[in-house]
Amino acid sequence: MDIKDITHEWHKAAERKDFVKVLMSGEIDEKVYATYLYNQAQCYAVLEKYAQENSLFRHTPGIERTEHLLYDFKALWKDDKEQPIITQSTKDYIRHVEGMREDAHKLYSHIYVRHLGDLSGGQMIRKKTPGPNRFYTFKDVAHKTYKPIVREVIHSYLSLYEEDVRTETQNCFIFATRLFGEMHDLGKIITQQRKDN
């Protein structure tokens, strides 16, 4: 049983969302992208906090993304008067991760989806999006060695906790897909506001 096969359909469903097409277009509005980065930073922050507490990055130091997400956000966010909107899916995701803070195998299911995705498909997004793009920039060692390490760890959890790993990888894709939908709608509003101003 391979985790890639298990998650294939969920992955494809996320990739088909309209917001992903905008991300890959090379023409995403900077404020929209900054809002997306800000929401991603909230999600990664809670996940990485509990992953650190459970020593889940001991074999992949430097794979954490929160600091880089916030750096990219600050480089693009020009509005000093307010912070970006935090979407409902982001709030729900934070609550969800808080509820499994001591379950290493569940947390690692989300690391597999998010961090391995950043090392893989994220590299294509990096070429199409504005700003410094530290979010998708990894040290060479990460590209060479971290993918097989993450796959090995998730498969070890899968062999012991198959149902939980299936459920949590699916949940992570569901939350990501919800965020893409919310960002597509928010993007229309933000773009229109910029035109009106």
Taking only the tens place, the pLDDT of each residue in 120-161 is: 989 999 999 999 999 999 987 777 799 999 999 999 999 999
For residue 82, CA distances in Å to 43, 70, 78, 157 come to: 20, 15, 10, 42
The confidence band for 195, taking pLDDT boundaries of 50, 70 and 90, is confident
Cα gap 140→145, rounded to integer Å: 9
Domain region containing 24? 3-196
CATH number at residue 90: 1.20.910.10
Give residue 192's pLDDT. Answer: 81
Cα gap 42→91, rounded to integer Å: 9
Give residue 19's pLDDT. Answer: 97
Give residue 143's pLDDT. Answer: 74
Cα gap 93→99, rounded to integer Å: 10
Q: What is the dihedral of CA 187, 188, 193, 195, to 10 degrees?
A: 110
The pair of structure tokens assigned to 152 is 């090995």
pLDDT (tens digit, 9 = 90+) per residue, 30-88?
999 999 999 999 999 999 999 999 999 999 999 999 999 999 999 999 988 899 999 99
CA-based diameter of the chain, in Å?
56
How many domains is the chain built from? 1
Give residue 46's pLDDT. Answer: 98
Residue 191 has pLDDT above 90, yes or no: no
Give residue 172's pLDDT. Answer: 98
Give residue 116's pLDDT. Answer: 95
- Where residue 87 falls (left for φ over 0; alpha for ψ -120 to 50; beta otherwise) is beta
Q: pTM for the complete prediction?
A: 0.95
The confidence band for 190, taking pLDDT boundaries of 50, 70 and 90, is confident
